[in-house]
A and B are shown apart, each in its own frame.
Chain A
Amino acid sequence: MRPLTDDETRTMFEKLSKYIGENIKLLVDRPDGTYCFRLHNDRVYYISERILKLATNISRDKLVSVGTCFGKFTKTLKFRLHITALDFLAPYAKFKVWVKPGQEQSFLYGNHVLKSGLGRITENTNQYQGVVVYSMSDVPLGFGVAAKSTQECRRVDPMSIVVFHQADIGEFIRSEDTLT
């Protein structure tokens, strides 16, 4: 387990800021202690310092997971955000999309959100902006990328995609193995 290098930190923060903007510092400086990011087996983990100290006792090959996994770096050093980061993205999300109850299941299966399933969307969403997807009862379902800006969403036909799917909570069942 090692701290992130500058490049890696920059890449990751860029990705995060797509969803939560400049609220990243809220992730690091929390009232209940300092949290930090650590890299282990190409995955980025978000942990408090107290856990960090304990976790250093565990040898590298035996350590499976620490705190919360945010995502992983691919072989080409791009950062891929995992669904496990949802709990931290959701409260700070700047752009949100609400999905109708009928389309909830479809999104949870990994499909993109169509205009017919779109309940609400934050104003001024740009195209290709990172968004967090909620159900109508404000339960976070996952996140994605807006395929159309808010203005376009109003005009477009019901069968076209408005949000590209990136991660959803159905993955906890579908792809449990890839979480580790």
Chain B
Amino acid sequence: MGRKLDPTTYVKRGPGRKSRKQKGAETELTKFITEGDSDRFTDENSEWLKPAKRKREADHIDDDDDDDSDSQWEQEEDEEGEGQKKKGKRQLIENDDDDDDDDDDLVDDYGASEDSGEGEKEGESDEEVRQKKLQEVMDQETDDDDEEEEEEEDKDGEKSGDEDMDEEDTVQVNIDEMDTFKLPKAEDIAKEGVMLVDLQTIHQRIKDNVDVLSHFSTKREGGKDRAEYLSLLKKDLSTYYSYNNFLIDKLLEIFPVSELIDFLEANEIQRPVTIRTNTLKTRRRDLAQALINRGVNLDPLGKWSKVGLVIFDSSVPIGATPEYLAGHYMLQGASSFLPVMALSPQEGETILDMSSAPGGKATYIAQLMRNTGVVVANDASADRLKSVVGNIHRLGVTNSVVCNYDGRQFPKVMGGFDRVLLDAPCSGTGVISKDPAVKTSKDESDIQRSAHLQKELILAAIDSVNAESPSGGYLVYCTCSIMVEENEWVVDYALKKRNVKLVPTGLDFGKEGFTRFKERRFHPSLKLSRRFYPHSHNMDGFFVAKLKKFSNTVPTTTVDNGIVTTILVEETEPSGDVKVQSDSFDEEKPFKAGSKNKSKKQKPDGKPVVSQATANGKSAKSIAKKTQKNENPTVPKKAKMDNETEKVDKEINKSNIVKTDKETSKEGSRFQKKGDKQRKSHIQSKKRIGKNKFNKLKKLLKNEFGNEHL
């Protein structure tokens, strides 16, 4: 309209420039218009021209605005007539926010102030208004009330949202259940048209909902159970962060609610760019210097890595500097350092990387080995292998072989590797920040398919490891996913199916893996695996587990043998128990890796299947006791079968017992040999209760035989 009549008065800022001015004008006018005239105008049109009624919160239910049917201000009229509750209420309430309450009575809306401002918002608010009209047509008053109250909450900001909202619902409308369930409907329709404003509302509602859920007992509203809040939260999260429902459900199962919000927020932003120095060609400090000279802002990655650098910003493209082209560094995510660090390849070993594209981990392995030994970099996709070859040559790796097999075929092609790294193809739920398509494209069948493939791959990987390797026998399984089905479940499956056990990864940070999840129970050693999350470690979501293979034999059937062995066990139970205690001592002692080899050699072939099977069959539970028990009866049997002297028998018994202890004990106790041999004598003396019986029998037999001879 015009400029302010009184420049000294300050009109509180609200949305819209012109509306502010207009309101400013009108605020001035109010001073000149007396209160008595508020209900009607004073000109000759007063009969049919009625001023807009103030839509106060308290009034709107009763204030049907039916009075305005003759109003010239058709917009208002329409809105009021149809949108009794809703329509402009939102804007009006927002106007209330602007503290123009007093003005609203006298203010002619022009249909503009309802928009909460002219200009940009006008169009939207019109739409909003129309949407509201739609809503009203579809919904009942109660819904309107709910939304209003929501907005009240939003305004207030301090209330625990859902709770108060629900409370007011119950006060005004006595259909609590209906209110919350109807809400989604209303909002769905609203959200189709309206974007920005509702997103903020949703965000606020999410926060409030999480707040209530975190302090449920104190902040909950009586009569509403947790499921209702959760279902609303799920819907809001899917909408706000653009996830499909399946993924939100899965994530809610993994994370507590407050952490889930952090996780989702972290997935919206990129992780920092990190590079790995190629120590075959340069040192980190030289590289850092050279890059700084080019104008790159960087920092060391952290104290857990000696070769990592994180790039903050750069004036040159990091992927195209002469240092990059000369192979001084490689662009690699921080989480990709971890499995190779866990694998810790030694010089001169033979290593297999089953899923190596684009080659970051394979080249890291080669650099750790200083180009000695052999790295076999395999990938099932021929296209992606080109990048592997390129990176290998660029970084100056000379000890590599690149091949294009399906990982599941690998044991047939070549086996006997010292270490194997399996970075299994997965659903990618840990790298959502790199690939937002994962949010909407994954569903149950994808996860199941991935998990199936991963199980096959991990078994093939285990079969490719040589358990008797002098310096290795390790497999590292990792994925860039946070789903339990692809991580702990696969590792647990491997533990059941093969002679492997979990060992510490050597990574001292990161969350421990789950040992139980929903209805599943995993092996307790799963807590040695590590999980990494974007929101807590600022790297891509990742899972790393390190397994050690302790026997090359593949268990065929476990059930039958298990039954058989349990029968045998009975006689020697006490000794078995004693053995368990000894194990716990022995694990602390240094252990030569070669001892396992020796023990295996000594073991005659007749019994390995049984013992191994038993070992495997029990692998899912506390094996040590049972397998030891199994071994005891077999040992004296062997001694008899082999027709060896008593002394030799005892030695073999000792070694066999030692062997089984090592094989079956789960907790990374490589350092058992000396301890076992040292300790066993004491323990065996107790065990010889059982053995001595056999020995006595033998002696008896020999004496008889001798007597016969005589």
Contacts and interface: CB of A to CB of B under 8 A. Distances in A.
A pairs with B? yes
Interface of A: 32, 46-48, 50-51, 54-55, 57-59, 62-69, 83-84, 87, 104-105, 108, 135, 137, 139-141, 169-170, 172-173, 176-177, 179-180
Nearest to A33: B372
Interface string B534-578: 000000000000000000000000000000000000000000000
B322 A64 contact: no
Given A54-B374, A58-B413, 11 more contacts: A63-B404, A64-B403, A67-B398, A69-B389, A83-B393, A169-B326, A172-B325, A177-B386, A179-B389, A180-B385, A180-B390
Contact of A176 (B323, B390, B405): B390
Contact of B414 (A47, A54, A83, A108): A54
B389 A180 contact: yes
B387 interface: yes
A64 B374 contact: no
Interface string B457-492: 000000000000000000000000000000000000
A103 to B, nearest CB: 12
B317 to A, nearest CB: 10
A47 B375 CA distance: 13
A18 to B, nearest CB: 21
Given A54-B401, A57-B413, A180-B386, A87 B319 contact: no
B289 to A, nearest CB: 11
A48 B375 CA distance: 13
Interface in B302-327: 319-320, 322-323, 325-327
Contacts of B346: none
Contact of B401 (A63, A140, A170): A63
A173 B325 contact: yes
B543 to A, nearest CB: 28
A108 B386 CA distance: 21
Given A57-B414, A67-B399, A67-B400, A170 B374 contact: no
Given A172-B393, A177-B386, A179-B393, A66 B326 contact: no
B496 to A, nearest CB: 30
Contacts of A55: 401
Nearest to B328: A139
B504 interface: no
A59 B382 CA distance: 15
Given A58-B403, A65-B401, A139-B322, A169 B393 contact: no
A84 B402 CA distance: 15
B400 A176 contact: no
Interface in B352-385: 372, 374, 376, 382, 385
Contacts of B394: 169, 172
Nearest to B400: A67
Nearest to B415: A57
**Closest 4 A-B residue pairs measured CB to CB?**
A169-B325, A84-B393, A65-B402, A64-B402
Contacts of A54: 350, 374, 376, 401, 414
Contact of B382 (A51, A64, A170): A64
B613 to A, nearest CB: 30
A54 to B, nearest CB: 5
A169 B401 CA distance: 22
Interface residues of B, number: 33
Nearest to A175: B390
Given A67-B398, A139-B326, A176-B390, A62 B374 contact: no
A180 B400 CA distance: 14
A179 B225 CA distance: 62
B583 to A, nearest CB: 38
A137 B323 CA distance: 11
A170 B325 CA distance: 6
A83 B385 CA distance: 18
B396 interface: yes
Nearest to A50: B374
B382 to A, nearest CB: 7
Contacts of A104: 322
Contacts of B426: none
B392 interface: yes
B319 A65 contact: no
B232 to A, nearest CB: 50
Nearest to A177: B386
A58 B374 contact: no
Contacts of B372: 32
B319 A173 contact: yes
A75 B350 CA distance: 36
Given A54-B350, A69-B393, A108 B401 contact: no
Contacts of B388: 64
**Interface-centre pick from A69, A140, A172, A176 (highest chain B CB count, 10 A):** A172
A176 B399 contact: no
A170 to B, nearest CB: 6
A179 B403 contact: no
B143 to A, nearest CB: 58
A140 B398 contact: no
Contacts of B400: 51, 65-67
A32 B372 CA distance: 9
B414 A58 contact: yes
A179 B390 contact: yes
Given A51-B374, A51-B401, A54-B350, A65 B326 contact: no
B319 A179 contact: no
B322 A141 contact: yes
A91 to B, nearest CB: 12
B386 A176 contact: yes
Contacts of B399: 48, 51, 67
- Report which residue of A48, A62, A105 has the largest number of chain B beta carbons within 10 angstroms of its beta carbon: A62
A179 B350 CA distance: 25
Contacts of B322: 104-105, 108, 135, 139, 141, 169
